[in-house]
Structures are given as C-alpha cells and as structure tokens.
A and B are shown apart, each in its own frame.
Chain A
Amino acid sequence: MQNYIIRRIIHIIPVLFGITIITFGAMHLAPGKPTDLMTDMNAKVSAEAKNRLAQLYGLDSPWYVQYGRWLMRVARLDFGASFRDGKPAISKIAERLPATLLLNILSIIFILIIAIPIGVISALNHNRFIDRAMTVGVFIGFSVPAFWLALMLMILFGLKLGWLPISGLHSLNAGDLPPLARVFDGAKHLVLPVFISAFTGLAGMSRYSRSSMLDTLHQDYIKLAYAKGLSRRQIVVKHALRNALLPIVTILGLSLPALIGGGFIFETIFAYPGMGRLGYEAIMARDYPVVMAVGTIAALLTLAGNLIADITYALVDPRIRYK
C-alpha cells in the first residue's frame, strides 16, 4: 500500500510540471504584454518607459527564462505579487480558497446523493418506463447550458419568487445577525451556486452508476445469489450495490477538472467570492502572477482529489494495489 501511494505521488510531479508549463507558455506566447494595459491609454508614455516597466516586472526575458525564475520562487512558496494591487498572489488565493472548497465539496456530496440513486433505480428497472424517463432526464441534463440554467433560476427564485439571494456569499447585514441566522443566511446564498455547479456532474455520474449497476447485475455471482434463493433485496443491497459503486470513486476523481473548470464561469455569474472568479478576473486583467497561482492551485486541487480517489479505491479494492 505504501509503495502504491509513493508511486502515485511521484506520478503527480511530471503532470504538475506539464500543466504549469502549458499555462505559462500559453500566457506568454500571446501577443502584447500586461504592461500595455497600463500604458496604452497614456499617449505620453515613451517606448523607453515601456521597456523600463517591462524590466521592472521581469517581462523582458524569454518566456522559458521567466518560467525558470517563476519555478524557483514557487519552490519557496512565493507566487509573486499581483500586477493590479501589489498584494501577494498567494494571499489573494488564500482569501478565496475556503469559499471554493466549500462550494466544490457541497457539490460533490449533492452529486453523490442525487446521481447514485437515479442510476441504481434506473438499472434495477432496466428498459421500463421509469428507466426511460430517467434516461431522457439525464440526456437533457447533459445538454443544458449550465450558465443559462443559472440565469433562469436566478430569475425564477431570486427575482420572481424572491426566495433566494442571487449573488455573493453573505447578505450586507450579515454581520449584525445572530450566529444561527448567519449560518442560515450563508446557506441560502449557497443553494443556487451549489445546485448549478453540481448539475453539470449529475448527468454523467448517474449515467455511470446506471451502467456500472447494469454490468454488475449480469455477473455470475449475482446469478449464483439468485440460484441460492436469496431475496432480491438482499442481492441488490449486499452483493450488487457494493461492487457496482466501487468504480464511482474513480469517476468522481475524474470529474474534478470539470467541476473546478465550471467554477470559472459559475462563480462569475453568481458573484461568488471564490477562486474561479478570481481566476477569471485575473485572466481578463492579464495579471500573470495571479493567473499562474490560480492555475497551479487548481491543478493541485485536481491532482490531490485524484490521489485521494485512487487511494480510497485501492483501500476498498485490494486487487488494484498489485497491478
């Protein structure tokens, strides 16, 4: 088991390098410099001043040299200072990270609670009406543009019905509320973002649990259990469900990039104070240090999630460890 974990951790390193190199390269190969944003509006800026500014931010050397420098600094956990307000990029992220983690963890829990029962019930009623109805639902789920759904729900629940707040994580007067009311206030703000963020993963996950359950139900040991005269309930709960749900752990790990990637658009729509919105704003402002920091942390989160998924899988299924 220890060997397995060490091997998996070593596997992470080249992937992390790859992701940071691509992010860095993509950013720097694009025409124009972030300093242009500061100087373009000012006709009085001379070419020489522009160069001085670029030098100040270390933008005058080739991108791979800059990448090397960036790497050296990151090794000391220094992600540099934001071009916009001079605050350290890492503290900007630290401010936003808890909100993003909260959103993603709640989404994952929500996905599991909803998607697995849908998939299992579908599989148990294979080709009957309820399976078909759920299949249609799942396909509509695959096809809905989530940002549009977000917009529609904001109108319906936020504006027409007035049940839910549509932006931010707290009401303006949250500071004056008693503790319990404050928690309730936060929960109300989370309903729509969590639902939309989970929504994109729901369809895939329920489809996957359905086919995994269908596969399992056709296994020989299930037939044996039937032959032994066990009740259907016993067979489903004790024999089928456990085996069918094992691979779900892995799929959950694989769905993380989509979840985190989705954050960049949903957090922006809901004005949610998370890392995704920070990343979006940094990209739009060409704030290199913050973009790199957000990219690296997002990749780390994904890889850590995958690692946890793989280790959990290896723990519950001993066959995996020896591959």
Chain B
Amino acid sequence: MIKLYFGRFTKNKLAFGGALLLAALTLCALAAPLVAPYEPAQQDLTHRLMPPSAAHLLGTDDLGRDVFSRLVYGIRISLTVGFVAVGIATIIGTLLGIVSGYFGGIVDVIIMRAVDIMLCFPTFFLILLVIAFLEPGIYNVMIVIGLTSWPGLTRLVRAETLSLRHREFVQAAELLGLSRRRIFLVHILPNVISPVIVSATLGIADAILTESGLSFLGLGVQPPGSSWGQMLTAGKDYIYVAWWLSVFPGIAILFTALSFNLLGEGLRDTLHSRQ
C-alpha cells in the first residue's frame, strides 16, 4: 500500500521536487549552526552593505551581518510559524468539522454559520487588528493565523463526515454501543485524514506567506530576531544601494512556500486517486 503511494508520488516530478526542496530546507534549519558560515547576529561594522562575494555569499546588511547566515536561521522561524499555526487550525477545523457533520441539527447550524462569518471576513484585516492591538510578536502571529484559518477545513471535514455517518461500519459501531470518542477517533478520523493532510500542507505555505507579510509591516518577529519578512522591511530602506537585502529574503520565502504547495498538490493527487 505504502509502496503503491510512494511509487505514484515519485512519478509526480513536481511533487517529488517539492518534497526534496522541503527536506533540504528542514535539514538546513536543523543544522543551521553548521550550514551558516557566520553567527546570524554577529555585527561587523567594517563590512557594512557589502555586495555578494566569496566571503559573504549573499552580501551583508547595514550592520555588517551576513545575509546568508541570517536567511539560514530564518528557515527555523518560517517553519515553526507554519507548523504551529497550521497545527492549531487543523485541530480546530477537524474537530468542528467532525462534530458538525456527525451531530447535525442545531450544532451544525451554529458551526456552519461561524464558518460563513469567518469566510466573509477579510482575514488579513482581522489578523492585523488583533496583532496590532495585542503585542506584536512571533507567538501572537502564530496563534492568530491559526485561529483564523480553520473555516475552509471545517467545511471539507464536515462534508466527508456527512457521507461517512450513514456508512455501515459507522452504524455498526453505533449499534455496538461504542463511545462517541471512540467512533470519532477510530472510525471517522482515519477516513477524513487525507483531505486534512493535503489542506494542512497547503495551509503551511499560506501561513508562511502571511507571517512574512505581517513581519514586513513590523508586526511579526521583533528585532534582533531575524524573520525573512522583517529582513525585507529592513532591506527596503537600502534598496538603492544594496539590492541583495531585498531580493534574497523574498526568494527564500518564495521557495519555501513553493515546496509546501508542490508537496500538497502532489499529496492530493496521490491520496485522492485511491478510490
């Protein structure tokens, strides 16, 4: 079974490329001290705003910090934000979706109304509002992105659960008098998990993009931490003299989001064509 999936997955070159890229990024993040030639916060005021060279692969910033090293450490932030935010959204979305689809009735109406409300919200406005009024910072960013990105998944899981509820194995489990918790965890969850995985993978890309946007506006990671979005903001002021400060962090964000998007789409093809 796994072999079958794996075979199908590796045949999809784009998805496989995405997975490889992601593996490389993860490795870099874990081994950041080994990969990065300099300390990310190490300043060298004699080498400010140096263009890319052999000593500084991607140049240095206004404080003489090595851009490449800062980018490598930045992977950690982006991946953490992506996984934590999507983790929160996935738990909320799956739970509400199963509950809504399984119980139906008034519970379903209330949850679906909440989904409608969230889907009509210009989400970025809400995120901006909450972060600006709370303390700007990386933890708030993760939590708020997580708390605002569950509605799509809820709809998806609800639809799957609705079709499962009347299937024989669920009915049998009910007749056997199994507890609700057991029915949810053992009989429904495994059957809705593949769309959840796909949507989570694609969601990570979105979360990373949102975080970079917030950091760009100065609401995400606070200095001296180095998130890619915040590096872009800092680089923006030197755009006439040091293009590398604005170009490379953007490319880093692009490739990270791309790896998750390709992987997610590949997983969709792989898991979807099961039936």
Contacts and interface: CB of A to CB of B under 8 A. Distances in A.
Interface of A: 11, 14-15, 18-19, 22-23, 26-27, 30-32, 135-136, 139-140, 142-145, 147-149, 151-152, 155, 159, 254, 257-258, 260-265, 268, 279-280, 283-284, 286, 291, 294-295, 298-299, 302-303, 306
Contacts of A261: 122-125
Interface stretch (B46-54, B97-105, B238-246): B238-246
A145 B122 contact: no
A19 B247 CA distance: 37
A160 B113 CA distance: 50
23 contacts: A14-B113, A15-B120, A18-B114, A18-B117, A31-B134, A142-B257, A143-B209, A144-B254, A145-B212, A147-B213, A151-B236, A151-B239, A151-B250, A260-B122, A261-B123, A262-B124, A264-B122, A283-B128, A283-B129, A295-B125, A299-B121, A302-B120, A302-B122
Contacts of B120: 15, 19, 257, 299, 302-303, 306
B117 A22 contact: yes
A15 B124 contact: no
Main SS at interface, chain A: helix
B186 interface: no
A30 B136 CA distance: 12
Contact of A279 (B125, B209, B249, B253): B125
A269 to B, nearest CB: 9
Contacts of B243: 155
Contacts, number: 136
Interface stretch (B30-38, B87-95, B158-166, B258-266): B258-266
Contacts of B114: 18
Contacts of A19: 117, 120-121
Contact of A257 (B123, B255, B262): B123
B243 to A, nearest CB: 7
Query: Looking at A136, A264, A286, which has the most chain B CB atoms within 10 Å of its CB?
Result: A264
A27 B246 contact: no
A284 B132 contact: yes
A261 B128 CA distance: 10
B64 to A, nearest CB: 23
B111 to A, nearest CB: 12
B45 interface: no
Nearest to A135: B14
Interface in B126-162: 126, 128-130, 132-134
B116 interface: yes
Contact of B128 (A152, A264, A299): A264
B122 A265 contact: no
Nearest to B236: A151
B172 interface: no
B67 to A, nearest CB: 15
B216 interface: yes
A295 B128 CA distance: 12
Nearest to B205: A143
B29 to A, nearest CB: 18
A139 B14 contact: yes
Considering the complex of A and B, which 8 residue pairs feature the smallest CB-CB distances, nearest first? A30-B133, A261-B124, A261-B122, A148-B250, A18-B117, A143-B257, A143-B258, A260-B122
Contacts of A22: 117, 121, 126
B119 to A, nearest CB: 7
A56 B213 CA distance: 36
B209 A280 contact: no
A291 to B, nearest CB: 7
B25 interface: no
Given A26-B133, A140-B258, A268 B122 contact: no
B232 interface: yes
B217 interface: yes
A286 B246 contact: no
B254 A140 contact: yes
Nearest to A295: B125
Contacts of B133: 26-27, 30, 32, 283, 286
Contacts of B229: 145
B261 A139 contact: yes
Nearest to A28: B133
B125 A139 contact: no
